Amino acid sequence: MEVSLSLCFAVISTVVALWFVKLTLSGGKAKKKHRLPPGPWTLPVIGSLHHMVSLLPHRAMMQLSRRHGPLMLLRLGEVPTVVVSSAKAAALVMRTNDLAFASRPHSVIADIFSCGYKNIAFAPYGDRWCEMRKVCVVELLSSNQVNRIEVIRAEEVGNLVRSMTDAALAGATINVSAKVVALSNDVVTRAVFGGKFAKQGEYLRELGEAFRLISGFCPADLFPSSPLVRWLSNGERDAKRSNDRIQRIISDVMEERKTKRASGVGGCSNEDEDLLDVLLKLQQEDSLNFPLTTEIIGAVLFDIFAGATETTGTILGWIMSELVRSPEIMAKAQQEVRDVLGENRATITNSSIAKLHYVQMVIKEAFRLHPPAVLIPRMAREDSTIMGYDIPKATNVFINVFAILRDPAYWTNPGEFKPERFENSNVTYNGTCFEFIPFGAGRRQCPGTQFSWSLTEMVLTNFLYHFDWMLPDGASLTSFDMSEKFGLAVSRRHDLKLRLTPHVWFKATPKK
């Protein structure tokens, strides 16, 4: 009895002593208690993850936010994460407090593919990011490059229309998803590298693997304090291997290009320069504050491919799916395209598209219902207060674009595909209307918006003008699959396969 009493006394005095030491070390001040956003109940270790097992992350978060509010706190493993799910909250984060939320979360996998956060998309906010972003906007997407890319786009879309016409005449069913992804890859590859290169197939395959690794929730990111989880999860090892292969290919391509340039072949005039030439020139000039190493060029090219290929291919897949599901909308869009453009057009380029108002509405509505980038990752750079809740520095923040674009407070019947909702509306995707932010907003807003919008418009207009579309034999609209696959871009789970016939223009027979 005496022994247990003295044991009890020893434990209590140790706890009191430790508490006292803690109080002394913290200067005797009680720590200010944060008023954190509400959220669902959590479990030890896994936090809120059990609320997210039955649905894809953006859908699970949307459902939870309908219960807990537009600013909701989740614990993804051990990482506190605030989810923003209304236009008003998004405006407070991405406009009013833009600078405070201008960083990206840390991630073991992003660290590897961004060469230690030295690219654009994953870089923390700071001088390096500002310089790289400027390179992207001023040099890579300069008017020179935009004109060059316009020619590439027209050629590639022309090739696609011709190959699809041949397949249609042969009665083949077309894998539309595969075609549009291949088209995006070809346009971007030509824009970046000037044309096909020997290891292109291997490079694109490796990028595909990298996008898969980077888009999931890696266990090491959910439990950053646990060396065991990090050691057990394969993601980091796979990412290192994949990044080594990507870097090796890029370094070979760069060496080859440098040799060519040294011998005076290609890329001499500004008009001929592809994006790789522009980056190599900057490297050679050595005029940037943060030197462009071969590895950093590889990471910037990774940004461009990640931003440009999956997202644009994905949205085209969704647009065609929605149009096939709604034959009257398809017919209305086709009629507009054919009435405005008239007969006998070959490849339709962007200069002819401005008057296609209904087609613009179709594209906007597809971006609203199926935004390819569903969760925009940001990180708080400082303590902030949003809607009366404290968001401590270094908290991860996801702007749930998917939930905002389906918020019934802004969109009537939000689950319905209805392009007419954009009729006589000033809502635009440029980051000023927070109920419609498929490309984000603020200083980290997508720099490739115009690139992908122009390609999307052009492909869609040509598809509508040149072909009539139908489901493959035996398929029916009632069982038409619209399920999603989570990834860098949220795409169709299953490829879209359709039959098409080249459009026939019926001419009135001239009277004799």
Q: Residue 128 or 499: which CB sits closer to ligand HEM?
A: 128
Distance in Å, CB of 190 to ligand HEM, minimum = 13
Q: Residue 330 or 455: which CB sits closer to ligand HEM?
A: 455
Q: Residue 68 or 407: which CB sits closer to ligand HEM?
A: 407
Would you count residue 278 as binding ligand HEM (CB under 6 A)? no
Q: Residue 129 or 422: which CB sits closer to ligand HEM?
A: 129
Phi/psi at 182 (nearest 5 deg)?
-65, -40
Q: Residue 222 or 441: which CB sits closer to ligand HEM?
A: 441
The 401-420 site mask, x for binding ligand HEM (CB under 6 A), equals --------------------
The 433-462 site mask, x for binding ligand HEM (CB under 6 A), equals -----xxxxx-xxxxx--xx----------
Choose, by CB under 6 A, the member of 64, 83, 308, 403 that binds ligand HEM: 308
The stretches of 219-370 forming alpha helices (DSSP H) are 219-222, 227-232, 235-262, 275-285, 294-305, 311-325, 327-341, 357-369
Rounded Cα gap, residues 254 and 260, in angstroms: 10
Strands 497-502 vs 484-485: parallel, antiparallel or unpaired: unpaired
Name residues whose C-beta falls within 8 Å of residue 113's C-beta, 6 or more positions apart in sequence: 119, 122, 210, 214, 239, 242, 243, 246, 299, 302
Distance in Å, CB of 452 to ligand HEM, minimum = 4
Distance in Å, CB of 402 to ligand HEM, minimum = 11
Which pair of tokens denotes residue 346? 């070959």
What DSSP element (H or E) covers 163?
Answer: helix 143-169
Choose, by CB under 6 A, the member of 180, 280, 315, 490 that binds ligand HEM: 315
Name residues whose C-beta falls within 8 Å of residue 427's C-beta, 6 or more positions apart in sequence: 364, 433, 435, 436
Choose, by CB under 6 A, the member of 89, 304, 320, 490 that binds ligand HEM: 304
Q: Tell whether 446 is in a known binding site.
A: yes
The 96-135 site mask, x for binding ligand HEM (CB under 6 A), equals ------------------------xx-----------x--
Would you count residue 311 as binding ligand HEM (CB under 6 A)? yes
Task: Please choose, from the candidates 503, 156, 151, 452, the residue with its C-alpha nearest in 3D space to the C-alpha of residue 339.
Answer: 503
Distance in Å, CB of 25 to ligand HEM, minimum = 38
> Cα separations (Å) of 329 from 291, 359, 478?
51, 10, 17
> What pairs with residue 73 in β-bridges?
82
DSSP letter (8 states) at residue 37: P
Q: Residue 223 or 410: which CB sits closer to ligand HEM?
A: 410
Distance in Å, CB of 268 to ligand HEM, minimum = 24
Which pair of tokens denotes residue 398? 């996801």
Distance in Å, CB of 422 to ligand HEM, minimum = 17
Within 184-213, which residues bind ligand HEM (CB under 6 A)? none
The amino acid occupying position 117 is: Y
Q: Residue 137 or 172: which CB sits closer to ligand HEM?
A: 137
Distance in Å, CB of 211 to ligand HEM, minimum = 13
Burial of residue 424 (number of CB atoms within 10 Å: 0-12, 13-18, 19+): exposed
CA dihedral 299, 304, 309, 314 (to 10 degrees): 100
Query: How many residues sit in the footprint of ligand HEM (CB under 6 A)?
Result: 26
> What pairs with residue 92 in β-bridges?
none
Rounded Cα gap, residues 240 and 220, in angstroms: 14
8 Å CB contact between 467 and 162: no
Rounded Cα gap, residues 379 and 367, in angstroms: 25
Phi/psi at 94 (nearest 5 deg)?
-95, -10
The 284-303 site mask, x for binding ligand HEM (CB under 6 A), equals -------------------x
Terminal Cα-to-Cα distance of the chain (whole angstroms): 122
Q: Residue 89 or 136: which CB sits closer to ligand HEM?
A: 136
Distance in Å, CB of 405 to ligand HEM, minimum = 11
Q: Residue 206 or 303: which CB sits closer to ligand HEM?
A: 303
Distance in Å, CB of 379 to ligand HEM, minimum = 11
Question: Applying CB under 6 A, which part among 80-88, 311-319, 324-332, 472-480 lies near ligand HEM?
Answer: 311-319
Would you count residue 398 as binding ligand HEM (CB under 6 A)? no
Phi/psi at 158 (nearest 5 deg)?
-60, -45
Rounded Cα gap, residues 414 and 408, in angstroms: 6
Within 358-377, which residues bind ligand HEM (CB under 6 A)? 372-373, 376
Distance in Å, CB of 303 to ligand HEM, minimum = 4
Question: Applying CB under 6 A, which part among 175-183, 289-297, 306-314, 402-410 lies near ligand HEM?
Answer: 306-314
Binding residues: 446
Interface positions with ligand HEM (CB under 6 A): 120-121, 133, 136, 303-304, 307-308, 311-312, 315, 372-373, 376, 438-442, 444-448, 451-452
Binding residues for heme: 446
